[in-house]
Amino acid sequence: MKNQKFNFAAFLAAVLISITLLPAQRVWAQGVTDKIAQKMTDSLAYLNLTDQQKTQATGFNKTAATSFVQLKQKMKQDTTLKGKAAAQQVMGIMKTRNTALKGILTPDQQKLYQQHQLQQMAELETKMMSAQLDLTDQQEPQVYAVNLKSTQALMGDAAKAKSSTRKLQKLKAAKALKSDSGEKDKELKKILTSDQYSKYEKNKEQMQAAMKEKMKEKKG
């Protein structure tokens, strides 16, 4: 779920930081932004970035993190910004960040990056849920773990369903996909509050539709 081109970081910052925070919120927002940006940078450890690349990646991540924080605030004010609409906003932020990131990677690093698509899908889904459900710092890594496990299972069973030539095989694969989704919901219910889970259920279909669009984009 990522691409990269970093030379226009200043331009991205100017566009993404379009929602001005109230003075009393600035210190709080900066702290949250730094935490999100640090997590995003830590998730790139497998690429073995050089010091120069880390500095650039951190800049991209701070720009994206600022946008995530602002999106959360905007969602509290705009009740129409939810479900698929919110998911598309998150995907737009991540697409910009990923395009910039790919632009600074070596060919070998880009290969590694492509191999981590499952992790990228889980990260994107977690960011969407974080924006929609206002996940806590404790909940976010737990939700990511569930999303990663679910993505791995779903992609595996989806591949089986696609390659199946017999009707019985297709039915078994479809049943497995349904089971994967049910298991994911059970695990999320243990992590989310009742209010968060209720919102998750309401937005689930729209989020899944947005994720399917992203998966098709990746295949293309």
β-partners of residue 100 are: 4, 5
The secondary element (H helix, E strand) that includes residue 192 is none
Which residue, 1, 181, 170, 174, is CA-closest to 90?
1
Confidence label for 99 from pLDDT (cuts 50, 70 and 90): very high
Record the pTM. 0.57
Q: For 116-135, how does the pLDDT look when each residue is reduced to its tens digit (9 = 90+)?
A: 878 888 888 898 888 888 89
Q: How many CA atoms lie within 13 A of 119 on its CB side?
A: 12
Q: Are 94 and 121 in contact (CB under 8 A)?
A: no
> Per the structure block, which two tokens stand in for 120?
């990228």
Amino acid at 89: Q
CA distance 147 to 119: 9
Burial tier of 56 (Cβ tally within 10 Å: 0-12, 13-18, 19+)? buried
Within the chain, strands assigned E span none
Burial tier of 18 (Cβ tally within 10 Å: 0-12, 13-18, 19+)? exposed
Q: For 13-66, how does the pLDDT look when each residue is reduced to its tens digit (9 = 90+)?
A: 333 333 333 333 443 456 778 888 888 899 899 999 999 999 999 999 999 999
CA distance 108 to 65: 27
